Chains A and B, each alone.
Chain A
Amino acid sequence: MLDTLSLSWYKAKVEAKFYRFRREEFQSWFSDIMERAYPSDFHKIRLSKGDRGCDGYRISTQTVYQVYAPRKASPSELNGKIIDDFNKAIVEFEGKISSWVFVHNDPDGLASETVIDTLGDLNKNNPTISIITNSFNEIWDVVKSLDRTNMLDLFGEAPTLLDMRNLQLEAIVPVLKYIEGREVPSDPPIDPPSEEKLKFNNLSNDIQEMLKLGRRKEILVENYFANVLDPLYGERIAQAFREKYCNLKATDLTEDEIFDELRRFTGGDYFCGTKELSATLAVLSYFFERCDIFENLVYQ
């Protein structure tokens, strides 16, 4: 059973991929999850043009899945796609369709006209078929049900509360070495850390929990910088984080997506051991608290 830290870690990874993947990559990822969750029951449909209104089918529940994750789509394009794919599906699966699920990864949700008019009309006109949408929460529920082997295959290891409790300096060092190597700034900014900084940056509860847990061990990072022979080592690592954060901030990524990119920058996808993964949280928390990454609270 996964503890709260592992769950938060996995949820952040799932969320990052969910909103980052597009088109065939998203469809393939979704199908991979569903095949693992429902082996021999869910079947993905070949990725090609002419998918007959179906990207996946679950035999036991007679559920057709239509996955849609374009780079951009207007509400009218989306509505047209839904109607077109649904009509293809009910022809192709005549007599063998009890549910039709529209899977999307729009972070803003579906437009009201899509929900009320398009999906509403389909529901009204097809009373024998359950027509629903799936987005992040539904996919996360499926992921949570996977066994440990499948979780490891899909998302790798995750640190546990025990790993964090037992974290020692020996795990911090390789993480810092991984991100080493930037010029020392001539005039680094100095701002006091803020108690409200977590909430101010609109980070999800899971990411806030990971940073809070990492904070318990950031003293290891502080002690390492205080005692390493090169006095400028801490500043070099800090500058690497500042530059990375600035570059990410200039894109249209959400705060949670920025955190995921910083997690990967820290070695979150490079290291396999749970000790080192726990160390990445301690390192991230250290730089978060010292205001090298994310926005600082503005006092009026």
Chain B
Amino acid sequence: MILPTKHLSKERSIIGVGGEVLLILNKPMTISSLWNNIKESRKRIYGNSFLSFDWFILSLDFLFMLNLIEFKSGKIDKVKK
């Protein structure tokens, strides 16, 4: 589920959704804002958003485990290097 497979496209894999989150996260955002933004982005790019909320949360968990995002003062932001 993290990586794409024969039956799971890259844009629906956890790593694919995580990549989209990083592209959208250009400033600290609440989870609701980030969720709305990624849905809008996917509608623009793929013509649909077909992304469930729990899958979106799994991608955030994945980015958090890789120390790419952090949760501070109620908002999500990229980890500053």
Q: Which residues of A contact B (CB under 8 A)?
A: 184, 188, 190, 225-232, 234-235, 237-238, 290-292
Known: A184-B1, A226-B12. A234 touches B7 (CB 8 A): yes
Interface centre among A188, A227, A231, A292 (most CB of B within 10 A): A231
B5 CB within 8 Å of chain A: yes
Known: A184-B1, A226-B12, A231-B12. A238 touches B7 (CB 8 A): yes
- Whether the Cβ atoms of B8 and A231 lie closer than 8 Å is yes
- Whether the Cβ atoms of B52 and A230 lie closer than 8 Å is yes
- In-complex Cβ contact of B13 among A229, A231, A292 (8 A): A231
- Whether the Cβ atoms of A231 and B6 lie closer than 8 Å is no
Tell me, rounded to whole Å, the shortest Cβ–Cβ distance linking B50 to chain A: 6
* Closest A residue by C-beta to B9: A226
- Whether the Cβ atoms of B7 and A227 lie closer than 8 Å is no
Number of A-B pairs whose CB atoms are under 8 Å?
36
Interface centre among A190, A226, A229, A235 (most CB of B within 10 A): A226
- Whether the Cβ atoms of A231 and B55 lie closer than 8 Å is yes
- In-complex Cβ contact of A190 among B5, B48, B50 (8 A): B5
- Whether the Cβ atoms of B12 and A235 lie closer than 8 Å is no
- Whether the Cβ atoms of A235 and B8 lie closer than 8 Å is yes
- Whether the Cβ atoms of B8 and A234 lie closer than 8 Å is yes
Count B interface residues, CB 8 Å: 12
- A237 contacts which chain B residues (CB < 8 A)? 7
Tell me, rounded to whole Å, the shortest Cβ–Cβ distance linking B20 to chain A: 14
Complex CA distance for A227 and B43, rounded to whole angstroms: 12
- Whether the Cβ atoms of A225 and B7 lie closer than 8 Å is yes
- Whether the Cβ atoms of B48 and A227 lie closer than 8 Å is yes
- A229 contacts which chain B residues (CB < 8 A)? 50, 52
- Whether the Cβ atoms of B50 and A235 lie closer than 8 Å is no
Known: A229-B50, A231-B13, A231-B55. A238 touches B1 (CB 8 A): no
- B50 contacts which chain A residues (CB < 8 A)? 227-229
Tell me, rounded to whole Å, the shortest Cβ–Cβ distance linking B40 to chain A: 18
Complex CA distance for A292 and B7, rounded to whole angstroms: 10
Question: Quick one: which of B1-24 are within 8 Å of A by CB?
Answer: 1, 5-9, 12-13
Known: A227-B50, A229-B50, A231-B13. A290 touches B1 (CB 8 A): no
Tell me, rounded to whole Å, the shortest Cβ–Cβ distance linking B9 to chain A: 6
Complex CA distance for A119 and B37, rounded to whole angstroms: 81
- Whether the Cβ atoms of A292 and B6 lie closer than 8 Å is yes
Tell me, rounded to whole Å, the shortest Cβ–Cβ distance linking B51 to chain A: 8
Complex CA distance for A292 and B55, rounded to whole angstroms: 25
Complex CA distance for A231 and B9, rounded to whole angstroms: 9
* Closest B residue by C-beta to A238: B7
Other than the given A232-B1, A238-B7, 15 more pairs (CB < 8 A) read A184-B1, A188-B5, A188-B6, A190-B6, A226-B9, A226-B12, A229-B50, A231-B1, A231-B13, A231-B52, A234-B8, A235-B5, A237-B7, A290-B7, A291-B6
